[in-house]
Amino acid sequence: MQDFSKRGPRQTQLMAEAHRHMPQGVAENYRYWGDERTVFIDSSKGCWLTDCDGRRYVDFRLGYGPIILGYRDDRVDAAVVEQITQRGTLSGFATALDTEVVKQIKAMCPNIEKMRFANSGTEAVMGAVRTARGYTKRDRVVIVEGGFHGLYDEMMWKSDIEHWDPTGTAPPSVIPFGGGIPGQARELVELIVLNDMAMLDALFKQRGEQIACVVLEPIIGNAGSISATQTWLQRLRDLCTEHGAMLVIDEVKTGFRVAKGGAQELYGIHADLTTYAKAMGNGYPVAAFGGRAEVMDVVGSYKGGVVHGGTYTGNLVALSAAQATLKILDQTDALKTIDRVGAQIRDLLGRVFAAAGIEYAFAGPPAMFGIHFTSTVPTNYRDWRVTNSDLYRAFAWQLIDHGVMLEPDSREPWFICEAHQELDLGWLEEVATRSMKAACEGAARGER
Ligand SMILES: Cc1ncc(COP(=O)(O)O)c(C=O)c1O
């Protein structure tokens, strides 16, 4: 029997050493879960992670979403190995593979006519926003409360939901995600509330002719998959068209996951520009942005063209991984399997919550669903604030202590990959039942 609740000896050692070499002892901020809890991974396979002390976890975090097939998928890895051993990793020149991958994406996503590559979601969003500005010759950018679009200064503004009083009438204040974000980066950014029709109409009435683009995740992968309604998203689409603003749909999390054609396929609504990353390469670092040919054609190295470049852009590790991953997603039943297993997992969790007498609501599609302890599905980020996120956190820590890895924050959805089909769902239901019981007992004792 593995004991997950205690700190492992190797974790203690690695954490202490890492502190001497990296701020907070981690390679990037979001991995730091406190000295006791920061997870050091030794290896991964399928839907399983093995930590540095040899403990195995079934993983629903999936590296924040990129793993769509499973860790170390043999089909993808073989394609990458062949590419880098037979051809190379990068040359700084064009290859036939560039066009091949774009053609694959176009076959899956009818919203794409032309495309450029990038190395991360952050870079893809930077590219899309700059292209929107270059095309419209406008500067103002609109984002949606609760969304996340990477580390680009202008995207690093959020509603201070933690310090907001949901019983009052004042809206949450807008703050930077952290230090080092210049105040000027806020000047051209507007925040709107998802599904708030009046706010949307008022913004376009007041500022419609100044807006270069609206950037959003229709299924907010960074707010527990709270989703836009069909009518609100359609209204946004229509207003963008009417006012000449670009609709930028950020499919970094939803792309090639919630459907072959991402969130846009589910809604039947097309963006002018779209960003992709994560599931596109099953964990290999690859990203892209693209959209209408007329819009994308402002990108180029001629005078006045929109600048886009990057030493590692379109490298062969990334593109061979994307080619192999997209082929599987397009030509096999992988996404159907993910939907089926995701729905089964949602159902079993629903049984667990109901048996424990907990009010719950799921948001988003089975491939990336959010769990909210509340009676009705939240319709925007402010609604999330009044869900019982403390109970969720306690439940999540219990799951982790029982060998189920996930982000202990209900704003991060449960990600499903094809390899989850191998999971013993009876075991998961049993573990979830025990974890919920322990979380409820902790809550009754006043623990947070
Ligand atoms: C919707 C969305 N856009 C952009 C990003 C940034 O992507 P990356 O971390 O690859 O820079 C993320 C990251 O989680 C994301 O969820």
CATH number where 201 lies: 3.40.640.10
Which residues are bridge partners to 219 per DSSP? 227
Q: Which of 353, 393, 369, 365 is nearest to 162 (CA)?
A: 393
67 domain-assigned:
yes
pLDDT grade for 275, boundaries at 50, 70 and 90: very high
Three-state DSSP state, 60: coil
Q: Residue 297 pLDDT > 70, yes or no?
A: yes
Whether residue 6 has pLDDT greater than 90: no
Tell me the residue range of the domain where 138 lies.
74-331
pLDDT score recorded for residue 19: 98
pLDDT at 117: 98
Exposed e or buried b for every residue in 176-196, given b needs 16+ CB within 10 A?
beeeebeeeebebbbbbbbbb
Is any atom of ligand 1 closer than 6 Å to the C-beta of 263? Answer: no
227 and 95 both lie in a single domain: yes
State residue 254's pLDDT score: 98
Q: What is the spatial distance between Cα 75 and Cα 327, in angstroms, rounded to a whole number?
A: 10
DSSP-assigned letters across all residues of 261-291: THHHHHHT---SEEEE-GGGGTTS--EEEEE
Token couple for 71: 């860790």
Q: How far apart are CA 156 and CA 177, in angstroms?
A: 5
- pLDDT exceeding 70 applies to what percent of the chain? 100
List the one residue out of 314, 291, 312 whose CA is nearest residue 131: 291
Q: Mean per-residue pLDDT for 238-262?
A: 98
pLDDT tens digit sequence for 48-64: 999 999 999 999 999 99
pLDDT at 406: 98
Radius of gyration for the alpha carbons in the chain, expressed in angstroms and rounded: 22
Domain membership of residue 31 (yes or no) is yes
Q: What is the pLDDT of residue 443?
A: 84
The tokens of 375 are what? Answer: 């009676």
Q: How sure is the predictor about 5, in pLDDT bands with cuts at 50, 70 and 90?
A: confident
Please indicate, yes or no, if residue 1 is contained in any of the structural domains: no
Q: Is 226 in the pocket of ligand 1 (CB under 6 A)?
A: no
pLDDT of residue 33 exceeding 80: yes
Same domain, 321 and 338: no
Does 49 fall in a domain? Answer: yes
Same domain, 415 and 344: yes
* Shared domain check, 182 and 117: yes
- pLDDT above 70: residue 448: no
How many Å lie between the centroid of ligand 1 and the Cα of residue 408? 18
State the maximum Cα–Cα separation within the chain, in Å, rounded to a whole number: 67
Query: 17 and 148 share a domain?
Result: no
DSSP designation for 323: H
Last residue of one domain, picked from the residues 284, 314, 331: 331
How much is the pLDDT for 154? 96
301 and 359, same domain (yes or no) = no
Q: Is the CB of 384 under 6 A from ligand 1?
A: no
- Confirm or reject: Cβ of 115 under 6 Å from ligand 1: no
Supply the angle between the helices 334-356 and 316-331 in degrees, to the nearest 10. Answer: 80
Residue owning the nearest CA to atom 2 of ligand 1:
149
For ligand 1, say whether the CB of 149 is within 6 Å of any of its atoms: yes
Q: Render pLDDT for 370-426 as a digit per residue (tens, 0 to 9).
A: 999 999 999 999 999 999 999 999 999 999 999 999 999 999 999 999 999 999 999
**pLDDT exceeds 70 at position 431:** yes
Question: Looking at ligand 1, which atom is closest to the CA of residue 275?
Answer: 3
Give the pLDDT score at 421.
98
Report CA(85)–ligand 1 centroid distance (Å). Answer: 30
Query: Would residue 4 count as lying in a domain?
Result: no
- Residue nearest to ligand 1 atom 8, measured at CA: 121
Q: What is the mean pLDDT of the chain?
A: 97
What's the average model confidence in pLDDT over 71-86? 98
Nearest atom in ligand 1 to 64's CA:
14
Whether 3 has a pLDDT exceeding 80, the answer reads no
Residue 64: CB within 6 Å of ligand 1?
yes
Same domain, 206 and 271: yes
Phi-psi region of 113 (alpha: psi -120 to 50; beta: other; left: phi over 0): alpha
Q: What is residue 58's predicted lDDT score, i.e. its pLDDT? A: 98
Domain shared by 113 and 217, yes or no: yes
Task: Kindly indicate the confidence band of residue 1, based on its pLDDT and cuts at 50, 70 and 90.
Answer: low
Cα distance between residue 199 and residue 220, in whole Å: 18
Indicate whether residue 152 lines ligand 1 (CB < 6 A).
Answer: no
- Residue 165's pLDDT is what? 94
Segment 303-329, tens digit of pLDDT: 999 999 999 999 999 999 999 999 999
- Is 187 part of a structural domain of the chain? yes
pLDDT band at 4 (very low <50, low <70, confident <90, very high): confident
Helix, strand, coil percentages (3-state) for the chain, rounded to 5, are: 45, 15, 40
The domain boundary, picked from 331, 348, 375, lies at 331
In a domain, 2, yes or no: no
Average of per-residue pLDDT across 347-373: 98
* Ligand 1 atom closest to the CA of 121, numbered from 1: 7
What is the C-alpha to C-alpha distance for residues 134 and 420, in angstroms, rounded to an integer? Answer: 43
| pLDDT one-digit tens code per residue, 165-224 | 999 999 999 999 999 999 999 999 999 999 999 999 999 999 999 999 999 999 999 999
Counting from 1 in the atom list of ligand 1, the atom nearest the Cα of 285 is 10
pTM (two decimals) = 0.97
Structurally, the chain folds into a number of domains equal to 2
- What is the distance in A from the centroid of ligand 1 to the CA of 149? 5
Q: Rounded CA gap, 87 and 431, in Å? A: 47
Cα–Cα nearest to 262, from 334, 363, 365: 365
Q: Which of 331, 353, 382 is the last residue of a domain?
A: 331
The reported pLDDT for the residue numbered 242 is 98
Model confidence at 267: pLDDT above 80: yes
Using the mean position of ligand 1's atoms as its centre, give its distance from the Cα of residue 37 in Å: 24
CA–chain centroid gap for 324, Å, is 21
Q: How far apart are CA 116 and CA 36, in angstroms?
A: 42
CATH at 382: 3.90.1150.10
Name the 3-class secondary structure at 133.
Answer: helix
**Do residues 214 and 189 touch, judged by C-beta distance below 8 A?**
no
Residue 289: which of 327, 250, 242, 328 has the closest Cα?
250
Indicate whether 324 and 431 sit together in one domain.
no
Co-location of 302 and 321 in the same domain = yes
Which atom of ligand 1 approaches the CA of 120 most closely? 10
**Mutational pocket test of ligand 1: of 194, 225, 253, the residue with most ligand atoms within 8 Å of the beta carbon:** 253
Same domain for 79 and 67, yes or no, is no
pLDDT of residue 287: 98
Q: Is 218 in the pocket of ligand 1 (CB under 6 A)?
A: no
- pLDDT score at 446: 81
> What would the mean pLDDT of 76-88 be, rounded to a whole number?
98
- DSSP string of 217-239, one letter each residue: -SEETTTTTEE--HHHHHHHHHH
Residue 250 Cβ inside 6 Å of ligand 1? The answer reads: yes
Q: Rounded distance, CA 343 to CA 72, Å?
A: 24
* Pairing state between β 287-291 and 273-276: antiparallel
Co-location of 113 and 65 in the same domain: no
Confirm or reject: Cβ of 156 under 6 Å from ligand 1. no
Q: Is the CB of 221 under 6 A from ligand 1?
A: yes
What is the Å distance from ligand 1's center to 279 Cα? 11
Distance 300 CA to ligand 1 centre (A): 25
**Cα 153 to chain center, whole Å?**
18
